[in-house]
Amino acid sequence: MKKLSTLFAALAVLLSDMMCAVVAYNYCDLLWGAKYAGYSAPASTAFLYAVPYAVGIAACAVLALVFKKRALPKQ
């Protein structure tokens, strides 16, 4: 169970890094598009991409804690 706990903790960290990259790229794209290409959506809508990543990060963190508690020996 300890390996699963470590795996889900690492997955949560990787998802947070991916979330930052995706949101930053889309924010820059929407900012440029609003300024030069005539996009009607504001750049702040790029933060909507963070919602599914946040759900995934929370799920991975909860699973990591559950597996960590199961791996601890009973006293």
Mean pLDDT, the chain, as a whole number? 94
What is the pLDDT at residue 14?
A: 98
pLDDT at 19: 98
- pTM, full prediction: 0.87
Cα–Cα distance measured from residue 35 to residue 27, given in angstroms and rounded to the nearest whole number: 12
Whether 44 has a pLDDT exceeding 90, the answer reads yes
pLDDT tens, residue by residue, 46-73? 999 999 999 999 999 999 999 998 877 7
19 contacts: CB under 8 Å, gap ≥ 6: 49, 50, 53, 54, 57
d(CA 43, CA 11): 28
